[in-house]
Structure 1
Amino acid sequence: MNTFASVIHILTLLTTALMAGLFFSYSFSVNSGLSQLNDSAYLLAMQSINKAILNPVFFICFFGTVVLLPLNAYLQYDGRLTINFSLYGLSAAFYIIGLFGITILGNVPLNDTLEAFDLGNSSQEAIKAMRETFEDPWNKWHSIRTIAVIISFLLLSIATVLPKR
């Protein structure tokens, strides 16, 4: 493997691991804590988190991995359809469809709806209804994308340690 391919491979492992860790830890710590909050506090916290996550470090890892995974697979391709290449390709597919696609098509529209909700001028009934509209679907999509990114990282890791065949 040449130096450029090695650097891309390491960056791909790093960004995929970071994204898997972020989504995993969110699932098993942040969501658990948020679920204990009352409706107003929950919605306010989610609005705040949804703003805070839109930062350069997150964007570099989130979007960078969309580019790095297929690029890594391409750079690992040696003209043969090997198990390693197939695993690299599957890793890219799980990330792009299962994490990126679910985020764009499932979680982001829910986040946008929540962002537009005027928490300060809403009744308790409206606040309760917004939480019911938001929380379960958001958590369902989040669980799917968490599983997808963990599978993506697992496939990438297996392909990395398997002997080239």
Structure 2
Amino acid sequence: MSIWFFFLCQFSVVGYALLGGVFLAFSDFIMRSLAHTSGRGGIEVMQVINREVFRYVFMALFLGLVPVSLVLAGYATFVFSGAGATLVALSGMIYLAGVFGITLVCNVPLNEALARMDLTTDDTQRFWTNTYLPRWTFWNSVRTTACTVASALLLLGLLRMAQA
């Protein structure tokens, strides 16, 4: 195994785990805490979070792992063989579908809908309580699981490849 691929795998294990931790925090206690505020307070905080997330390390890591995951999946598929290579390839595909894909298809549309809403209306409060909180948190929990699985599969794949 080339040294650059080995280091890329190690970086990705850590990256997947870090993102999974952020997603876990939201699913475990941040969204629940926002639900216990006045609806207006939770909505306002989430609107701010959704604007601020674009400016920091999270977004660079989240987006940066897309091409990295493509490289992991492709390189493991076409250059290596065996169970370890399969696990490495699966880890990249799980990140792409279960984290990046779910974000684009499920979480982002909810964030965009919330961003357009007026904090003072009853419709916004109903959307927040009946739609946004349960759906966003569910899909975020899927992302948490996908990050965790991708990280674990990649670590196991590396171990299997090292043993081969």
TM-score by length of 2: 0.88
- Segment drifting more, 13-22 vs 90-99: 13-22
Matches within 5 A, 1:8-87: 8-76=8-76, 79-87=79-87
Q: Which amino acid letter does the alignment assign opposite residue 72 of structure 1? A: L
Is this contact kept in 2: 1:84–1:159, CA < 8 A?
yes
The correspondence of residues 129-148 of structure 1 with structure 2, limited to 5 A, is 129-131=126-128, 132-148=130-146
Q: Secondary structure at the match of 1:61?
A: helix
Match of 1:4 in 2: 4
RMSD over aligned Cα atoms: 1.9
For 1:4 and 1:110, the matched residues in 2 are separated by 38
Which residue number in structure 1 is paired with residue 156 of structure 2?
158
Counterpart residue identity of residue 45, structure 2: A
- Report the equivalent of 2:107: 107
Q: Match of 2:117?
A: 117
Once the two structures are superposed, what CA deviation does each residue of 1:16-39 show, in whole Å capped at 9, x if it has no partner? Answer: 121111111222121232121121
Unpaired runs of 5+ residues, structure 1, are none
**Is the 8 Å Cα contact of residues 21 and 144 (structure 2) preserved in structure 1?**
no
Distance in 2 between the 1:78 and 1:109 partners? 35
1:142: Cα distance to partner?
A: 1.1
The size of the alignment, in residue pairs, is 162
Structure 2, unpaired ranges of 5+? none
Farther off after superposition, 99-108 or 140-149: 140-149
The CA distance in 1 between the partners of 2:71 and 2:105, in whole Å, is 24
Per the alignment, residue 125 of structure 2 pairs with 128
- Aligned partners of 2:77 and 2:89 also within 8 Å: no
Moved more, 69-78 or 135-144: 69-78
Measure the CA separation in 2 of the matches of 1:37 and 1:64. Answer: 34
Indicate conservation of the 8 Å contact 1:69/1:88, yes or no. no
- 1:108-162 alpha-carbon deviations (Å, 9 max, x no partner): 000000001121xx33x22321212311111121111211111111111111222
Q: Could you tell me which amino acid in structure 1 is paired with residue 137 of structure 2?
A: N
Q: Which segment is superposed worse, 68-77 or 155-164? A: 68-77
- Aligned-partner Cα distance in 2 for 1:130–1:38: 14
Query: Which deviations, in whole Å up to 9, do the C-alpha atoms of 1:69-99 show, x marking residues without a partner?
Result: 2313444457453101110111111111111
* Residue 50 (structure 1) shift: 0.8
Q: 1:99 to 1:79 in 2, by over 3 A?
A: closer
